[in-house]
Structure 1
Amino acid sequence: MAFSELLQHMGNFGRYQIMLVFSILSLTVPLTTHNLVENFSGAIPAHRCYIHLLDNITSESKLPENLTTEALLRISIPMGVNNEQEQCLRFHQAQWQLLNSSDLAISTIELETEACLDGWIYDQSIFTSTIVTQWNLVCKSKSLKLWSQSIYMAGYMLGSPLGGYISDKFGRKPALLASSLLSALLGTGSIFAPTFPIYCTIRFLLSMSMGTIYATSLALLIEWLPSNVTPMIITIRSLALSAGQTVLAGLAYVFRDWRMLQLSISVPYFVFFLSVWWTSESARWLIISGKLEKALKVMKKVAHINGKKDVDEILNIEVLQSAMREELAFLKRSSKKIKVMESPIVCKTIFLLYFLRFCSIFFVYGVLTDLKNLGSNMFLSQALLGAVDFPSKCLSFLAIKFLKRRPSIASVLFLGGFCILINIFVPKDMPFIRLGLAMLGKGFVAVSFSIGMIYNHELIPTGLRSRVEGGIIFMSGLAASLSTLVLITRQYFEPLPTILYGTSPIMAAICVYFLPETLNLPLPDTIQDVERRHKNYKKTSTKEEESNDLQDTTEC
């Protein structure tokens, strides 16, 4: 816990930390674009069966004069229940008699139809190409498009814990460099996928590297920041994630071909890979790993960048060993292995953090799945989904800076769930009120995410930080997948999905109070730090209760 003292000798929050923040933010913004890109690259355009009379140019000479496109569609494509043309059926033969029929819905019922044996014609007014049009993921193959996003989330769930383990085992910087380069190569390579299964495989590997970037970049950033500026930087990083949604909307508006869109969000990672190359390894991690010589070298390098000229006289192995005496002693006792299962307090903390993230993501993805009335313009809707987080996350900065963690997180989670539960009693003919409550609830939970980013790291020791963060992202992917399946229960009981979405953050709000308060406390470096903090907090709480009881007795 004495690393904060060493950080003062290195310049605290100096030029190096500022450059590191910009490097990490450059990695953060594209994360959201990759996660949500299939909102556009996987969009399903209007489509119909291929018609020889209309779509085969050589047949134009055989058509009667003055025969319009609408007339050809009328005799070739049957009408559906809603008096709209079928997208997956066509007449076995051209029905010329329908040219003089006025009641198309009745007259086409008994006519022989067939599937789209010759393929489909897609509307290209919005998108010139998507993965749906590329591999004909429509009609009977429509479910394959959903599998693509599910496979991507599965990669996130598996890649985050694996990346966290690699980060804790080999260091923050190597994990970040490898995942950045992989993201650039895989993201670019996906546009050359010859088949849909290969595309899904590349996306799966891409999401694994994305999960590693998310977990490792956050750990590296926080471990180089002093506690007094961490709330502001975490808020900015959280805003960068939301900004990615808005950036995606702009890129999708410009690039209407899915390959160009995928390329636009993948190529920048080659530049980001170079920007990460200059960064230094986490000195906290080097110390906890027993690499004191490397840690001292890195610390002096950072101090020189920050303008500390006399660093060679101040920082040496003796000073380092003296400042980190307890952490190094614990390192020797544990033989460089952190035995989590021997600490019930750490186990309980990790379990509760997993549960909190699961409930929050389950809520957010559930609400986003139901937000269908933001507008017909999908580009504008995507931009609004990103923009709505800005005011709430800006407010979260004040909460991180001045308010206690536990009551702040608990209150916004409770309010978020409460807003959604109110929607059960709002009539469906009042869409603006329902939408307003849903957006308000999402905004409250967005505040909890911002506070939770720093709260998680304040509860977990350095040696476990990346692995726990990877596990949290795993729970996020699991919750996102399950939240969409919950909508199936609507056919059995209409309000059930809303009830589940609304109650999940309320349950999380209750669980927050089983965790200790961490406001204005330094980051823990060992399991001993976590256990000592828990015991001290418990003693403080007991003394406050005894003091209140004594005061009540005196007044009586």
Structure 2
Amino acid sequence: MGFNDLLESIGGVGYFHILHNILILIPVCIVSFHSYLQNFTAAIPNHHCHVPVDTKQICDANLTAKELLQVYIPMNKEGKPKECHQFKVAQCHIINTTVSNVTDLATKPCTDGWTYNQSQFVSTIISESVITLLQWDLVCSQQALKQVAQSIYMAGVLVGSAFFGWLSDRFGRRRVLMWTHLQVAVAGTLVALLPTFSSYCVFRFISGMGTSGIFIISLSLILEWIPMRGRTLAGNCYGYFASSGQMILAGLAYYLRNWRWLQFAACVPFFLFFLYSWLLVESARWLILKGKLDHALRNLKIAAWVNGKKEEGEKITIEMLKENIPMNSSKVSSYSFLDLFRTPGMRRISCCLMLVCFSTHFAFFALALDLTTFGFSIFLVQLIFGAIDIPGKLICTLTMDLFGRQKTQAVSLILSGLLIIGGIFVPQGMMALHTALATLAKCCLSGAMACVLQFSGELYPTEVRQRGLGLSFMTAYLGSVLAPVVYLLGDIVSFLPYLIYGVASIVAGVAACFLLETNQALLPDTIEEVESRFNPTWIPH
């Protein structure tokens, strides 16, 4: 009897698995806020140089607010106040005139701060002034600090992917997952409370580490408890919850226009998640590999009892567990990231998955940049961004069972690449066709993202699964970081970014063809099992 047969004997996909997965997936839904949170908390409101109140009579008249702007602030081509400059001296002669050519008048950078339009957002980190009474003013010469803050968060995500992947392979999925819930709760709440921009960046970094830990550990814990016949649906439910979180964020941001309250609302639920995560059950697969057979047996009996299969659970013995999974407690502790590349089969899996993960997120987040050009409000853009994911992931769920992971991964990536490149040849006036191609490409990439999550969890063996998922997430987030950088190449050659995104997707689709099919295959537990699947005659050195 294999471990999959054990899971089937105690209820298969029963009440325990459904309840356990829901408890894991609710935090995944909320943690997906954090990757997109700065779209709202760091939104740049309309602004212009501040005009001191005591200058109302500078032109020997009691000037209105509109006249003050005309006297002190030059206008841009759209007839709106310029954001970063003011006249060196008051231009009283242009009051109530039709003078439009003021380009020759001397200007200087803002000297008294900025005035922000609060019609869309009461407060963002750009115009912060709630606690300190001193604005952060991340505009004009300081505007790059907004991107610095997001890059620091993404650096935390990259570090967390590696660190928590290693930590959960060494100390267990449940224990480290509980810690990441607490880390996001505390660090994220401090982000909302502390007064300075530097403290904001530090705790966003720590929060980013925690969010990536939640993502990779949750997926692994789900897959290791689900029998083979339920893995596709369980893995894709993970993607559905993440997409739902993006849509919920749009509604939450619409009602919470103060960035501190929005930040607080996105983090405080993790205190509750930390408390109930004590109810989660550690992976029996990992416990057996670590030689903790008594603990693994107890967890399997808990699952059997919740599923209404108490008698079947009582039949399981420690001897049966020893037969199912070879114990490598000393080796599991000594594994490192180098073991993902040390043997031929693991090397092929790691290299191909790195390319697939990088290219999928690289192209996906590049298309997300285009959504802001459709003319919708930022709240509707975020809602569309999440909603577009659902059809792609639904189709992916069906095709992964019908045609397998490998074909689904390859076709979705190659098709998205062709659609992106096809958009290059659409004339500028045909906006509807351009939007349709971009939407179809995004649907394909959403399916590819869901597939690679499932694929990564099933290809890597239990003893290094978290390290493998950590590596996959690291390369994926690296792709999302580089996507905006490549987008800037459009200033040199307009179609060049889209050509790069499309080619990267096609190359990744070809790389997916070199991965083993895992549909209807048992989860591997050791590196030796993986190598034997690639080469039955392989002998470990």
Instruction: Please state which band the TM-score falls in when normalised by the shorter chain.
Output: over 0.9
Determine the C-alpha separation between the residues in 2 that align with 1:345 and 1:100: 77
5 Å-filtered alignment, 1:487-526, equals: 487-526=487-526
CA–CA distance in structure 1, aligned partners of residues 156 and 333 of structure 2: 30
- Equivalent position SS for 2:177: helix
CA distance in 2, matches of 1:66, 1:342: 78
Please tell me whether residue 177 in structure 1 is matched to residue 178 in structure 2: yes
Which residue number in structure 1 is paired with residue 38 of structure 2? 38
Q: Does the CA-based 8 Å contact 1:516-1:537 persist in structure 2?
A: no
Counterpart position of 1:287: 288
**Structure 1 counterpart of 2:98:** 102
Q: CA deviation at 1:536?
A: 5.6
- Which region of structure 1 is more displaced relative to structure 2, 65-74 or 146-155? 65-74
TM-score (norm 2): 0.94
CA contact (8 A) 1:283 1:299 kept: yes
1:69 aligned partner: 65
The residue that corresponds to 2:25 in the other structure is 25
Q: Distance in 2 between matches of 1:537 and 1:359?
A: 33
CA offsets per residue over residues 6-50 of structure 1, 9 Å max, x none? 212332222211111111111111122111011011000000111
1:351-383 CA deviation, whole Å, 9 max, x = no partner?
A: 111111001111111111133333331111110
The aligned counterpart of 2:379 is 379
Partner of 1:277: 278
Q: Following superposition of structure 1 onto structure 2, how do residues 466-505 of structure 1 map, counting pairs within 5 Å?
A: 466-505=466-505
Structure 2 match to 1:143: 144
**Counterpart for residue 550 of structure 1:** none
Q: Secondary structure in 2 aligned to 1:228? A: helix
> Residue type of the partner of 2:196?
T
Deviation at 1:133, TM superposition (A): 0.1
1-side partners of 2:95 and 2:370: how far apart?
A: 41
| Preserved CA contact (<8 Å) 1:155 1:208 | yes
Q: Which moved more, 1:132-141 or 1:368-377?
A: 368-377
Name the CA distance, whole Å, in 2 between partners of 1:491 and 1:192.
39
Structure 2 equivalent of residue 543 of structure 1: none
Distance change >3 Å, CA 289–CA 451, structure 1 → 2: same
* 1:110, distance to aligned residue in structure 2 (A): 2.9
Query: Is 1:451 aligned with 2:451?
Result: yes
Contact map agreement 1:49 1:120 (CA 8 A) in 2: yes
Quote the residue 2:209 is aligned against.
208
SS at match of 1:130: coil
Cα deviation, 1:249-271, whole Å, max 9, x if unaligned, reads: 00000000000111111111111
2:121 matched to 1:127? yes
Give the partner amino acid of 1:392.
Answer: G
Q: Is the 8 A contact 1:399 1:451 kept in 2?
A: no
- Residue 505 of structure 1, CA deviation: 0.8
Note if contact 1:417-1:441 (Cα within 8 Å) is conserved in structure 2.
yes
Contact 1:42–1:130, Cα closer than 8 Å, also in 2: yes
Larger radius of gyration: 1
The one-letter amino acid of 1:102's match is T
For 1:378 and 1:154, locate their aligned partners in 2 and report how far apart those are by CA, in whole Å. Answer: 25
What one-letter code is carried by the residue in structure 1 that aligns with 2:116?
A: Y
Q: Secondary structure at the match of 1:287?
A: helix
TM-superposed deviation, 1:296: 1.3
**In the alignment, residue 502 of structure 1 is paired with which amino acid?**
G
Code of the aligned partner of 1:79:
M
Give 1:154 deviation, angstroms. 0.9
Runs of 4+ in 1 over 6 A off after TM superposition: 61-66
Aligned Cα root-mean-square deviation (Å): 2.0
Aligned residues: 528
Give the Cα–Cα distance (whole angstroms) in 1 for the partners of residues 221 and 512 of structure 2: 25
Secondary structure of the residue aligned to 1:210 is helix
Give the corresponding residue for 1:541: none
For 1:48, what is the secondary structure of its paired residue?
strand
Give the equivalent residue in structure 2 for 1:116.
Answer: 110
How far apart, in 2, do the equivalents of 1:240 and 1:333 lie? 36
Could you report, residue by residue, the CA deviation over 1:38-78 in whole angstroms, capped at 9, with x for unpaired residues?
Answer: 101100000011112xxx2x665888677432222111101
Secondary structure of 1:158's partner?
helix
Flag the 1:70–1:61 CA change in 2: closer, same or farther, 3 A: closer
Match for 1:199: what amino acid? Answer: Y
Structure 1 residues 167-195: Cα deviation after superposition (integer angstroms, max 9, x where no partner) = 00000011100000110111111012221
Matched, 1:195 2:196: yes
Distance in 2 between the 1:402 and 1:415 partners? 18
Q: Answer yes or no: is the 8 Å Cα contact 2:59–2:92 preserved in 1.
A: no
Quick one: distance in 2 between partners of 1:228 and 1:490?
A: 46
Alignment-mate amino acid for residue 116 of structure 1: C
**In the aligned structure 2, how far is the partner of 1:359 from the partner of 1:158?**
20
The unaligned stretches of length 5 or more in structure 2 are 129-135
Call closer, same or farther: CA 1:341–1:483 in 2, change over 3 Å.
Answer: closer
Structure-1 separation of matches of 2:366 and 2:81: 32
- Name the CA shift for 1:479/1:9 in 2 (closer, same or farther; >3 Å): same
- The superposition leaves residues 55-112 of structure 1 with CA deviations (integer Å, 9 ceiling, x where unpaired) of x2x66588867743222211110123444321111122221101154232x2x23323
- Using a 3 Å threshold, how does the CA distance of structure 1 residues 500 and 243 change in structure 2: closer, same or farther? same
> Equivalent residue for 1:227?
228
Contact map agreement 2:361 2:449 (CA 8 A) in 1: no
Does the 8 Å contact 2:56/2:64 carry over to 1?
no
On the 8 A contact 1:367/1:501 being kept in 2, the answer is no
2:106 aligned partner, one-letter code: E
Residue 133 of structure 2 is matched in structure 1 by: none
2:329 and 2:224 map into 1 onto residues whose CA distance is 22
| Separation in structure 2 between the aligned mates of residue 63 and residue 9 of structure 1, nearest angstrom | 88
Is residue 183–residue 209 contact of structure 1 (8 Å, CA) maintained in 2? yes
User: What CA distance in whole angstroms lies between the structure 1 residues aligned with 2:232 and 2:268?
Assistant: 31
The answer for the alignment partner of 1:548 in structure 2 is none
Given the superposition, is the C-alpha separation of residues 119 and 313 from structure 1 closer, same or farther in structure 2, using an over 3 Å criterion? closer
Identity %, equivalent residues: 35
TM alignment of 1:404-443, pairs within 5 A: 404-443=404-443
Contact 1:157-1:476 within 8 A present in 2 as well: no
Q: How do 1:234-253 residues align onto structure 2 when only pairs under 5 Å count?
A: 234-253=235-254
Q: Which amino acid aligns with 1:77?
A: I
Aligned to 1:423, what secondary structure does the other structure show? helix
| 2:126 match: secondary structure | helix
More helix by share: 1
- In 1, the alpha carbon distance for the partners of 2:40 and 2:146 equals 12
The code of the aligned residue for 1:470 comes to: G
Post-superposition offset of 1:336:
5.8
CA distance in 2, matches of 1:150, 1:359: 19
Distance 1:284 1:454 in 2: 18
Whether the aligned pair in 1 keeps the contact of 2:297 and 2:316 (CA below 8 Å) is yes
How far, CA to CA, are the matches of 1:418 and 1:232 in structure 2? 28
Alpha-carbon distance, 1:323 to partner: 2.8
In terms of mean alpha carbon deviation, does 135-144 or 508-517 score higher? 508-517
**Per-residue Cα deviation, 1:515-552 (whole angstroms, up to 9, x for no partner):** 111211111111121112223699xxxxxxxxxxxxxx
- Identify which range, 297-306 or 201-210, moves more after superposition: 297-306
For the residue of structure 2 that corresponds to 1:131, the secondary structure is coil
For the residues of structure 2 that align with 1:450 and 1:426, how far apart are their CA atoms? 29
CA–CA distance in structure 2, aligned partners of residues 464 and 305 of structure 1: 29
Find the residue that maps to 1:229 and give its secondary structure.
helix
Question: Structure 1: how far apart are the matches of 2:160 and 2:533?
Answer: 31
